[in-house]
Amino acid sequence: MAKTTTPATTERHTTVSGRPIKALYTADDLADAAPPEPPGQFPYTRGIHTSGYAGKLWTMRQFSGFGTPEDTNQRYKQLLAAGGTGLSVAFDLPTLMGRDPDHPLSLGEVGKCGVSVASLADMEQLFDGIALEDVTTSMTINSPAAMIFAMYLVVAQRQGVQWSRLSGTLQNDILKEYIAQKEYIYPPRPSMRLVTDTFEFCATEVPRWNTVSVSGYHIREAGATALQELAFTLRDGIEYVQYGVDAGLAVDSFVPRLSFFFNAHNDFFEEIAKYRAARTLWATVMRDRFGATDERSWKLRFHTQTAGVSLTAQQPYNNVVRTAIQALAAVLGGTNSLHTNSLDEALSLPTREAAMLALRTQQVIAHESGVTAFVDPLGGSYFVERLTRDMEDGARDYFQRIDEQGGMVAAIEQGYPQREIAESAYRFHQEVENGERTIVGVNGFTGETDTGVETLYLDEGTAEAQCARVAELRDTRDGAAVDAALDRLRHAALETDNLMPPLLEAVRAYATVGEMCDALRDVWGEYEEAASV
């Protein structure tokens, strides 16, 4: 019989803002702090709505995308039929990097980690039979975000949907790409112009659309601590607001359409405190630093995804438990939208069955656990309140350090957040290697035989189909119209014109993602990160 490996009992002194986590908290730990205001009141520590989930549950938005647009369209229809209440689009690596499927650097990656979208024709197929007026759509795309968004707007227009009625979110968070995920194209400063141009365009044309989802998720996945995720994410948000104000936008004209995207990791109470602190910090900074007077600018709204980096290939059914705990933390922390990862994601893209189980996990929490009957049910806990305040203090320390460097763009150019995350990731893995931190099924309790799971396999047929589709598109479209539209895009990039109108023109002419991104590469060049020591 296989021997079960049990880890030695160790004591990890986790700290937040320099304070060790204690075994017992009492009223003395809150003696210097006033109790938080009720839910729905500034600074919204306990939630931005007075009624919590009693009036409306969070949006159950499952992240999905693979293969061809037809493949993903079918998965969307399955998720909506199963009770999903929003769509979240995962794009493949070539699309994320602004490359067409037939580009040499796309070899082996087309449709593998998301759906391949090269042109308006693909976007039309992706949402075929789905009424965009009736769903909210989140699109996880950054460097080519404006191009993909332009495609979505044209599809909606052709469905007869007024842009003013569209709701959804464009991730459009280029700062976290330089910090963590590294899917950037252009240097930081022209990239920020693309972001602020979407702010300006949507303020009048697509007023219900969230123009940026400031993402801590990828920062955490790269190895950041919960505190670093909180601090760097909010400081990225502050940077976007500052750039918008510097571009001449009134703060209350665009800040209400900024949203956030956080990770839900394994340390249950730490995650809850992180979300509570985030609301407090954002409300305070928007009011006191930027002079926002519209309460919608003060209210931090956020989507949560359970931690992909916590999923293990070993004993994959353990991932169902991890995901449930993480999802519950997000709900108790007041998330507005939630994606739950599938048990097989350390092995492959999710199968239909694994994706359904992930959605059912949310539905069990919502309808069977009873936690949605209460607003901020852990509010008043000595430990949670102290941890929330420690998170706030630690984040403010990071804000000050980044401000002293000239802001987040300058800090990124100096490699500061990158180094902080790398050091945290190294410490975490040292703890795992040394047995100070237990990962069930990996370095502890490893004796049980792994139970295999079926995985989703994608062959190169997707790449062949997408390359053929792009070739046919180039043969049948009006090439002169495409060339003229791309020339206007280059000209706008050289001037100070808003880039959304020329992008929409190029999309309608069926210019590809790669062609539009290359037009801007011609003007701005590509970014190469300096070595960080």
Degrees to nearest 5, angle at CA 44 with 411 and 330: 75
Per-residue pLDDT at 18: 59
What are the structure tokens assigned to 331, written together?
Answer: 């709900």
**pLDDT tens digits, 519-528:** 999 999 999 9
**pLDDT tens digits, 275-292:** 999 999 999 999 999 999
Residue 223 has pLDDT above 90, yes or no: yes
As a whole number of angstroms, the distance between CA 354 and CA 347 comes to 12
Residue 438 has pLDDT above 70, yes or no: yes
What are the structure tokens assigned to 12, written together?
Answer: 């990890």
In a domain, 466, yes or no: no
In a domain, 106, yes or no: yes
In a domain, 200, yes or no: yes
As a whole number of angstroms, the distance between CA 203 and CA 221 comes to 31
Per-residue pLDDT at 57: 96
Do residues 329 and 268 make contact, with C-beta atoms less than 8 angstroms apart?
A: yes
Q: Whole-number mean pLDDT of the chain? A: 94
Do residues 361 and 320 make contact, with C-beta atoms less than 8 angstroms apart?
A: yes
* pLDDT > 90 fraction of the chain, expressed in percent and rounded: 88
Q: What are the backbone dihedrals phi and psi of residue 353, each rounded to the nearest 5 degrees, phi first?
A: -65, -40
As a whole number of angstroms, the distance between CA 179 and CA 305 comes to 19
Lowest mean pLDDT among 25-34, 95-104, 181-190: 25-34
As a whole number of angstroms, the distance between CA 209 and CA 223 comes to 30
**How large is the average pLDDT for residues 392-421?**
97
Higher pLDDT, 33 or 391: 391
In a domain, 122, yes or no: yes
Range of the domain at 361: 43-433
**How large is the average pLDDT for residues 25-49?**
93
Burial of 193 per CB tally in 10 Å (0-12, 13-18, 19+): middle
DSSP state of 119: S
In a domain, 507, yes or no: no
Per-residue pLDDT at 532: 63
Number of domains in the chain: 1
Q: What are the backbone dihedrals phi and psi of residue 292, each rounded to the nearest 5 degrees, phi first?
A: -65, 135
Kindly report the pTM of this predicted structure.
0.93
* pLDDT > 70 fraction of the chain, expressed in percent and rounded: 95
DSSP state of 345: T
Nearest partner of 345 among 310, 299, 301, judged by Cα: 310
**pLDDT tens digits, 49-97:** 999 998 899 999 888 899 999 999 999 999 899 998 889 999 999 999 9
Burial of 163 per CB tally in 10 Å (0-12, 13-18, 19+): middle
As a whole number of angstroms, the distance between CA 296 and CA 287 comes to 11
In a domain, 455, yes or no: no
Per-residue pLDDT at 14: 62
| Helix (H), strand (E), coil (C) string for 374-421 | CCCCCCCCHHHHHHHHHHHHHHHHHHHHHHHCCCHHHHHHCCHHHHHH
Q: State the pLDDT confidence band at 48, using cuts at 50, 70 and 90.
A: very high
Per-residue pLDDT at 8: 45
Nearest partner of 514 among 21, 101, 186, judged by Cα: 101
In a domain, 171, yes or no: yes
Degrees to nearest 5, angle at CA 278 with 419 and 251: 95
Per-residue pLDDT at 11: 40
Per-residue pLDDT at 3: 42
Residue 449 has pLDDT above 70, yes or no: no
Contacts 24+ apart (CB under 8 A), 495-504: 498/197, 498/200, 498/201, 499/146, 499/193, 499/194, 499/197, 500/146, 500/150, 500/197, 500/198, 500/201, 500/205, 501/201, 503/146, 503/147, 503/150, 504/150, 504/153, 504/154
DSSP state of 113: S
Q: What is the CATH number of the domain that holds 375?
A: 3.20.20.240
Do residues 219 and 422 make contact, with C-beta atoms less than 8 angstroms apart?
A: no
Nearest partner of 334 among 372, 363, 362, judged by Cα: 372
In a domain, 22, yes or no: no
As a whole number of angstroms, the distance between CA 468 and CA 464 comes to 6
Nearest partner of 127 among 67, 71, 73, 63, judged by Cα: 73
Per-residue pLDDT at 452: 79
As a whole number of angstroms, the distance between CA 416 and CA 428 comes to 19
What are the structure tokens assigned to 492, written together?
Answer: 């706008």
